[in-house]
Structure 1
Amino acid sequence: MSFIETEEQKELRASVSRLGERFNYVDYVLPRARRGEPLTELWNEAGKLGFLGVNLPEEYGGGGAGIYELALVQEELAAHGAGLLLVVVSPAICGTIIGKYGTADQKQKWLPGLADGSKIMAFGITEADAGSNSHQITTTARRDRSSGARGDGDGEDWLLSGNKIYISGVDQADAVLIVARTEDSKTGKLKPALFIVPTDAENFVKTPMEMDIVEPDHQFMLFLDDVRLPADALVGEADAALMQLFAGLNPERILGASMAIGMGRYALDAAVRFAKERTVWKEPIGTHQGISHPLAQIKIELELAKLMMQKAAVLYDSGDDFGAAEAANMAKYAAAEASIKALDQAVQTHGGAGLTKEYGLAAMLGAARIGRVAPVSREMVLNFVAQHSLGLPKSY
């Protein structure tokens, strides 16, 4: 395992960085975020350049690389304040799951669009009463075996009912990959299963949530009241979805970590630049260890988090699912902590200027804080490490 990047990876970083410079935080992202507008131009340009689908199979228009390369794309965009939340969701989670477990028709229908950004798929797992306990999901799918359920006599439609909460980007999405449960006819137990649900489906209702953070992407509650789906809406096997689900959750944690690391890099660069330029008592404030040491410490912590994120991505791409799960959780934890610390110290370095609209650091601090909560809380990460890495008794 080597973290010395190839020439192709270095060139990819440089190319993505140039795109991030064009669609930077102060001039592009923040104004749109304050207006609650999605980063459509950036998304389209990233898709046109092939950045969104670097992890997807070449035969479907992707780059044929891995989660490492997609994390690289996310990190470099976020390092310019232009991280794309839907990269975590559409190509990383949904694209990975469909690429691994989808039918030939599902792959042909969705992967080319996910690769070039012309199609977006959101991901719906969270429920109000289930929280972090995905085993408590109550959204259910049942077969409607009545003759001619869709008017074609196959009688194999699914009817999907339930509610979801905190689902990102539904207003931009063509479909949502919904985590539901089906009933095992032999045991009567409910098993998780994954369904592709078009956002224009009848009885599919999305309601925007009022969030108190400055973000270009919106969160939604979903209400599904017997949403009728064809038989081929099911992704993979009805009784194998736990494995399929985790195939998408590890990339989610890795991409979340890369976005947090990028935000941390942005904050640190802003703080260092200000510390070099701001002169008090005839010398730059960066001269003083009260300013320089906290920034040096953040640099170290960001680099450590990045190493764990890279390790997780390499393990995932090599097929080591358990090793990737441990590393991905650790990377997500470390990156969130480091990015929050970086934003907070950047604000402190700027003094009063750090709270002004001109710099936008306080707004980004709110966005960075998400990393401690989503896609999994730091407490659940600590539970995972305590149980699986340390072998301590399960606490929940």
Structure 2
Amino acid sequence: MSEFSETEERQTLRREVAKLAAKFGREWFTDKARSGEKTTELWLEIGKFGYLGINIPEEYGGGGGGIGDIAAVCEELAAQGCPLLLMVVSPAICGTIINRYGTDEQKRRWLPGICDGTGTMAFAITEPDAGTNTHNITTTARRDGDEWVLNGRKVWISGVDEAENVLVVARAEDARTGKVKPVLFVVPTDAAGFEYQSIPMEIVSPELQFQVFIDDVRLPADAIVGDEDGGLVQLFAGLNPERIMAASFSTGLARFAIEKASAYAKERTVFQGPIGSHQAIAHPLAQCHIETELARLMTQKAAALYDAGDDLASGEAANMAKYAAAEAACHAADTAVQTHGGNGITQEYGMAGLLVATRAGRIAPVSREMILNFVAMHSLGLPKSY
């Protein structure tokens, strides 16, 4: 087998997830979104077959695989028209951080629910005034006897209404130095003082975005995940998987768009033959396919490096993969709409909604501009620009 080919086990995983997701499909997904319903049925089905926690150790109900496996699941769901944003958040970010830094008791408490879908966990880091500058977050955690008290605001928090808990990034004062440091807390969504409000979005998705209000939320000492003094190392253990998953989310959407557009181009006849026989239609679709396959290759590289424990190299590759995948997806969605002509902006064909869905990949979880800053500075050695 070529080293550029995925293992037979991974390829089988892709086929099985695609088969499962195809039973639901894009029409089912958008119907759920437009009617205000959730995709719980699909979520629990993924969990039942062991795909949801495939990156989590078997002793906690997972599949014992790596980030490359859960990224493959995420991509195949999106490629069948069912992109699930909580795949990025619950098993990949929260599951990875808890598995790497949680105590044995915390792993037993939270990982099985993440694996089977009954204990979905959201992730809260972004704040209204901090944006992508994580160093400027102002959500605070202070000790009060044996407890912690959290106060702050978060924004763009996905799926809080579907989660039992939220992994919240707060800042606590270091008793030795007086400086603040990032600390991770698991907060129940039904905790007193924890409230959230949905943000109206143009994107067609059953998974909603929220503002979160944290007012004097009291937590026990064991709500902390990892070492209180662990700092950014623990946080970034979840952010590199987040970028890899975001890349897979985008490449899945790109594949979906290209497949639909290609099928339409084979059938739609306007002049002498199918419109796909004209290079004005064929070449843009071919270009999108090339860009998507290149992005998939970089995503697989990033996942392989991460699973091998190379955090430094995987960070660079994860950022590049996320950038390349978002660009490929935006181009694919735009090309798919253009291929469909007027039909591209109808609800019947479902292409126009992809424009917003793929565009989000250029912004979240980190903007394309910040990725370019990262590559310029860390890969090319250029002076820091921000």
Q: TM-score range by the shorter chain?
A: over 0.9
Deviations 1:84-141 (A, max 9, x none): 1101000000000000000111000001111111110000000011110000010010
Q: CA deviation at 1:212?
A: 2.0
Residue of structure 2 equivalent to 1:5: 6
Q: 2:260 matched to 1:270?
A: yes
Q: CA deviation at 1:241?
A: 3.0
1:361 counterpart SS class = coil
**Which residue does 2:67 correspond to in 1?**
67
The answer to whether structure 1 residue 39 and structure 2 residue 75 are counterparts is no
SS in 2 for 1:279: coil
Identical counterparts, % of pairs: 63
Give, in whole Å, the separation in 2 of the partners of 1:25 and 1:230.
42
Deviation at 1:188, TM superposition (A): 1.1
Which residue of the partner structure matches residue 243 of structure 2? Answer: 253
- TM-score (structure 1 length as normaliser): 0.96
Q: Deviations over 1:330-372 (max 9, x none)?
A: 0000000000110100000000001111011101221111000
CA root-mean-square deviation: 0.9
**Residues 21-57 of structure 1: CA distance to partner in whole angstroms, max 9, x if unpaired?**
101002x101111123221111010010111000000
> SS at 2:352's partner residue?
helix
Structure-2 separation of matches of 1:288 and 1:6: 37
Aligned to 1:159: 149
The answer to whether 1:92 aligns with 2:113 is no
Task: Write the distance in 2 (CA, Å) between the matches of 1:349 and 1:7.
Answer: 34
In the aligned structure 1, how far is the partner of 2:271 from the partner of 2:217? 67
User: Could you report, residue by residue, the CA deviation over 1:217-247 in whole angstroms, capped at 9, with x for unpaired residues?
Assistant: 1111111111000000000111113111100
State the shift of 1:78 in Å: 0.6
SS, match of residue 311 in structure 1:
helix
Moved more, 9-18 or 190-199: 9-18
Matched length: 385
Q: Determine whether 1:103 maps to 2:103.
A: yes
Residue identity in the other structure for 1:135: H
Checking the alignment, whether the CA contact within 8 Å between 1:276 and 1:285 is kept in structure 2 is: yes
Amino acid at match of 2:15: A
Q: How does 1:187-202 map to 2 (within 5 A)?
A: 187-202=177-192
1:205 counterpart (195, 211, 219): 195
Structure 2 CA distance for aligned equivalents of residues 239 and 186 of structure 1: 11
1:344 matched to which residue of 2?
334
Is 1:372 matched with 2:352? no
How far apart are the structure 2 equivalents of 1:18 and 1:388?
40
**Distance in 1 between residues matched to 2:332 and 2:239, nearest whole Å:** 26
Deviation of 1:381 after TM superposition, in Å, equals: 0.3
For structure 1, the 5+ residue unaligned runs are: 146-155
Q: What SS does structure 2 have at the residue aligned with 1:129?
A: coil
Alignment partner of 1:301 out of 291, 296, 305: 291
Given that residues 194 and 241 in structure 1 are in contact (C-alpha distance below 8 angstroms), is that contact kept between their aligned partners in structure 2? Answer: no
Structure 2: 5+ residue stretches without partners = none
> Structure 2 counterpart of 1:290, which letter?
A
Normalised by the size of structure 2, how large is the TM-score?
A: 0.99
Paired amino acid for 2:306: Y
